[in-house]
Amino acid sequence: MTVVHASQNVPFFRLMARKSAFGTNLSRRSAKRLAVLGAVCTLWAAIFAILSGPLTIVPLELAELSLQDAVVRHGTKTSTPENYVFLALDEASLDLSQLDPEEIAADPALALMAQEFPWSRAVYAAAVEKVLGAGAKTVVLDAHFPLAGEGDEVLRDILRRYPGRVVIASLYMDSEMSVAPDAVLYHPPADTIVAPGDEANASVGYANFWPEADKVVRAAHYRMTDADLLGRPGLGGEVRSSLGAIALRQAGLKQDFPAAGLMRFCQPDSFPVVPLWQLFVPDLWKANLKDGQIFRDKIVLAGPLAARFRDFFRTPVGTLPGPEIHLHAMAAAQVGAFYRRATSGFVMATCFALGAVAFGVSAWMRRPLAALAVLALALAAFMGAAFLVYDFADFLPGLLYPAATLVMAGLTCFAYDFALERREKTRVRRSLERYVSRDVVRELLDHESDVLERLGGSRQDVAVLFSDLRGFTAITEHAEPAQLVADLNEYLGAMVEIVFRNRGTLDKFIGDAVMAVWGTVDSVGPREDAARSVRTAVEMLGAVRRMRERWAQRGAPDLRLGIGLNAGPAIFGNIGSDLKMEPTVIGDTVNLASRLESLTKRYGVELLASETVAALASGEFAFRTLDTVRVVGRSTPVTIYAVPLDPDGAACRPRWLEKHEEAWAHYRARRFDRAVDLFSSIADELPRDKALLAMIDRCRGFQASPPPDEWEPVMVMESK
């Protein structure tokens, strides 16, 4: 018989080397791949660099501000100075619900506070006098009095009594309220409080904050001109200062200020808060406020805290009342706690730098999960570096655009690599599937290192199938070559399809013979491997039957198939020479499967299975005992079985099977009379069954001439 191997002329290891080429450093660093990855990273860096500078998209800008706020919120805070007190107009000061009427009537200021808000300005005058009398350096009134009102003269007298120690608020109004486009609406206090020319007695500072586009206050503006507000700072104009700047000057704590600065906030709620009403309750003044000692040498800022004033602003550290933001601004100015944002050029450069990082990670990291982990670490390192430079260098780099460059460039490169690898795997898979089983290919591509280790030699439980077309060799001597090749290809194509469908590995073709294996590279356990081999054999017999019917229409010979099945341990490995190697299984399990295929002709059946296969697959298939034999080259006998088939060629469990197996039990127990009776009783259901007739003759022979006492029910095969 001519031996033709499926993998002839293509050594398996050479194919494997071709297969694994996509995973080598050389392939991953190929010039074309590196050029594509470099272009991808450069493109993403350019996109986000443009978005960070010349072209802005509002949602992205807002996201950038939110990320920066996270750094400010969780970064190092400014230490809260001890020389500030927040004198709060809280709800308790507005409703005086904690005081009895007698206590309210006992103090003129409380009596005025008990009236409907807005209060008489005499209340503020009383508070200023009380606090300054206790030794405060400066009092800041974060309250705007643009119109004349009750008690103005009292407040004016107090301001004159304490010249240079009180700051009162003015306000810039929204530009939308201005009739003229180039006009600025500035509202100083009423003349009845601070008359023109009286600024030496009472300083006036604006109480405004200017939030950014997302309505978040991040910067303090310590001086301002009308031209600044109109967006034309070069025009000059009167310079006005903020409440906080004037208070720091009056207290002698700071003289030079930046025009504006991004504040490092203190810890929220870290400034001491004193409810305004407690100033006028003697017991509380003595107990809580320690006779006013809490105000000594302090800057006291009086302002609204109650929710009804709606004087709250969003900041990076949370929503804060306006007076507290003034305190944060003064604290930042006092210690110089400001930070700088990165310029547009710096952000652009950072985008390209992180694009280069993405290129390096994707170009030289072989494993996708490892590359993703390194990319995540790089992103975390960038964010960590942002915290460090914010904490120690008062610098906040751009965050969103460089981080987006790193992520998008990295993910795009990984997607490109994934597509490239899938394309290479598909190409190699198609190439390998011409020579080896699809299961071997899949296992090689998915678990290369494990399979390579096993190909070096491993002992595994396998199920083996040998099939052969009976008499095909004789037909080749007279058949037309073209028709013969067409028929053989049709037959082998059908057989291979069935093997693959049942997840078997096509080990080799040997002429018209097929060797298939289960359990080498794709196994769910010996039982399922054995069941798959039986299922494959039954389907192969059905396919040959259908082909035989088609071939008979053109006068082709009546071909029959013989199949042998066995299961057990075998050696799996890449076997051959340096010039030619192929993965296969060897050992007694394989040899016995081949012997069983040869015995199908002797027993007149198309399928023989060993006792191991029968035991493993008995849950799905019925098996009919045919004999116990000792094959050539094997000392241990083996019981062989057939799989009963119905007229349509499907596996079945016939009614006569129980009697048949009972007859075999009597035969092994030397009860030959009973065995003959049972075998004969099913002869009508198995007409011309060669194995059954042989057993009847054997039993009758032993009836006539009983075997010796040491007899074993084993048939010894003299030839292969």
Crossing angle of the two packed helices 438-446 and 400-432, in degrees rounded to 10? 150
pLDDT mean over 73-77:
95
Would you say 603 and 589 are in contact if contact means Cβ atoms under 8 Å apart? Answer: no
Question: Could you count the other beta carbons within 10 Å of the beta carbon of residue 582?
Answer: 20
As beta bridge partners, residue 585 has 572
The DSSP output letter for 528 is H
Does pLDDT of 638 surpass 70? Answer: yes
Share above pLDDT 90 across residues of the chain, in percent, rounded to a whole number: 66
pLDDT-derived band at 528, boundaries 50, 70, 90 = very high
CA 185/CA 230 separation, integer angstroms: 11
Q: Taking the CA of residue 243 as centre, how many other CA atoms within 13 Å lie in the half-sphere pointing to its CB? A: 34
The DSSP output letter for 235 is G
Please, what is the average pLDDT of the chain? 87
Does pLDDT of 101 surpass 80? Answer: yes
Residue with tokens 């009596």: 111
- Higher per-residue confidence, 267 vs 436: 267
Strands 513-518 and 458-470 come out as: antiparallel
Q: How far is CA 77 from CA 323, 328, 382, 387, 399, in A?
A: 19, 11, 21, 12, 20
- Look at phi and psi of residue 139 and say left if phi exceeds 0, alpha if psi is from -120 to 50, else beta: beta
Question: Could you count the other beta carbons within 10 Å of the beta carbon of residue 123?
Answer: 28
CA 385/CA 391 separation, integer angstroms: 10
CA 53/CA 400 separation, integer angstroms: 13
CA 406/CA 296 separation, integer angstroms: 54
Q: Global pTM?
A: 0.64
As beta bridge partners, residue 584 has 573
- Higher per-residue confidence, 302 vs 237: 302
Write the burial class of residue 44 (CB in 10 Å: 0-12 exposed, 13-18 middle, 19+ buried): buried
pLDDT-derived band at 486, boundaries 50, 70, 90 = confident
- Look at phi and psi of residue 104 and say left if phi exceeds 0, alpha if psi is from -120 to 50, else beta: alpha
The pLDDT value recorded for residue 179 is 46
The pLDDT value recorded for residue 453 is 59
Q: Which of 297-306, 455-464, 586-595, 644-653 has the highest mean pLDDT?
A: 297-306
Return the SS3 of 714: coil
The pLDDT value recorded for residue 444 is 65
Would you say 585 and 507 are in contact if contact means Cβ atoms under 8 Å apart? Answer: yes
Does pLDDT of 295 surpass 80? Answer: yes
CA 506/CA 517 separation, integer angstroms: 7
CA 92/CA 557 separation, integer angstroms: 111
The pLDDT value recorded for residue 183 is 59
- What's the angle, vertex CA 284, arms to CA 279 and CA 289, rounded to 5? 70
- Higher per-residue confidence, 182 vs 566: 566
CA 290 and chain centroid, separation: 59
CA 412 and chain centroid, separation: 15
The pLDDT value recorded for residue 10 is 38
CA 138, 139, 141, 147 dihedral sign is negative
- For 9-41, the pLDDT digits (tens) are 334 444 444 443 334 444 444 788 899 999 999
pLDDT mean over 203-210:
94
Residues 6+ apart with CB under 8 A from 83: 137, 251, 253, 297, 298, 299
Does pLDDT of 563 surpass 50? Answer: yes
Does pLDDT of 276 surpass 90? Answer: yes
Does pLDDT of 231 surpass 50? Answer: yes
Domains and CATH numbers, the chain: 26-69+342-422 (no CATH), 80-336 (no CATH), 436-653 (3.30.70.1230), 655-720 (no CATH)
> Can you read off the two tokens belonging to residue 459?
């002992």
Residues 6+ apart with CB under 8 A from 538: 607, 643, 645, 649, 650, 651
Strands 513-518 and 138-144 come out as: unpaired
Question: Could you count the other beta carbons within 10 Å of the beta carbon of residue 371?
Answer: 20
Would you say 583 and 436 are in contact if contact means Cβ atoms under 8 Å apart? Answer: yes
* 3-state secondary structure string across 346-371: HHHHHHHHHHHHHHHHHHHCCCHHHH
282: preceding bond cis by omega (within 30 degrees) = no
Tell which residue, 339, 354, 456, has the closest CA to residue 400: 354
The pLDDT value recorded for residue 639 is 95
Would you say 621 and 590 are in contact if contact means Cβ atoms under 8 Å apart? Answer: no
